[in-house]
Amino acid sequence: MSRYVKIQSLFNHQRLKFMPRFHIIIPAAGAGNRMATAIPKQYLPLNGKPMVSHSIQTFFACPRIASINLALSADDFFWRSLTLDSNSRLNLHYSGGDTRAQTVLNTLDAMRPNIDEDDWILVHDAARPGLSSQLLNQLIDALEHDAVGGLLALPLADTLKQADAANRVAQTIPRDALWQAQTPQMFRFNLLHQALTQFNGAPTDEAQAVEALGLQPKLVMGSLRNMKVTYPQDLALMEVFMQKDIL
């Protein structure tokens, strides 16, 4: 091997070594009260396995993902008996907080010793089991060189009505340029940690916290299949999506 080839090989190795990696956080500490079930909705059966398992499987299937971090409540016993392999990409954190934002922030703190400040963090809802590998890679491709980061989202198709106290229409809201946020939402570790730490109150999602810093996350086209399972009828619809392999 020539000296040039050796130097080039060393350079490529060092470049890969310091390239930002991609890490998943799945906040799974909620109870999902709107599903009116005895167990947290992320563990409801969907096509033969717990709902959250579908997303985990998608992340495992993507070699670009360096780690999958499941954020659980302290009294979650679903995973207690699971013995993880020492080199498993799945990590369990009993880091659930009072809000989703606090759960994510607690998990970032738990992950900190093992990741770099400029690594990418992708936060994904435990109740979005329909995320496909194609959509995941589409998001990473669109944002890996972005200065801010962003999220999957869908342009609104329905007319929006604002109600008054009597549930009568107060006004119609133009839907032009309005999008429905989805997940994953993808930001650098240091930016996301700063945004969640400094936000006054509890943001509804990670993007809102980043917006509060004066930044503009990028919207990446999502998919109807990537819907959030919130009500019992949503679970039935998701089963149809999966059984018919609808993207």
pLDDT in tens, 13-25: 444 456 889 999 9
- Locate 170 and state its tokens: 């107060």
Q: Determine the Cα–Cα distance for residues 180 and 156; give it in Å rounded to an integer.
A: 6
CA pseudo-torsion sign 71, 106, 132, 211: positive
Asked whether 140 and 22 are in contact (CB, 8 A), the reply is yes
Q: What's the pLDDT tens digit per position in 120-168? A: 999 999 999 999 999 999 999 999 999 999 999 999 988 899 999 999 9
**How distant, in Å, are the alpha carbons of 44, 60, 239 from that of 48?**
10, 18, 10
Residue 148 CB partners (closer than 8 Å, separation 6+): 187, 191, 210, 215, 216, 217, 218
Q: Which residue has the tokens 């500490």?
A: 29
Domain spans, the chain: 18-243
Q: Are 101 and 3 in contact (CB under 8 A)?
A: no
Tokens representing 101? 């934002």
- Mode of pairing for the β-strands spanning 65-71 and 90-93: parallel
Q: How confident is the model over 224-242, as a mean pLDDT? A: 86
Question: What is the rounded CA–CA span in Å between residue 73 and residue 68?
Answer: 16
How far apart (Å, rounded) are the C-alpha atoms in residues 189 and 187? 6
Higher pLDDT, 43 or 107: 107
- Given a cut of 80, whether residue 3 has pLDDT beyond it is no
Q: What is the pLDDT of residue 140?
A: 98
| pLDDT reported for residue 81 | 66
pLDDT tens string 175-229: 888 999 999 999 999 999 999 999 999 999 999 999 999 999 999 999 999 999 9
- φ, ψ for residue 121 (rounded to 5)? -115, 125
Which numeric CATH code is attached to 18-243?
3.90.550.10
Reported as half-sphere exposure (CB side, CA atoms, 13 A), residue 226 has a value of 24
Does residue 90 contact residue 84 with C-beta atoms inside 8 Å? yes
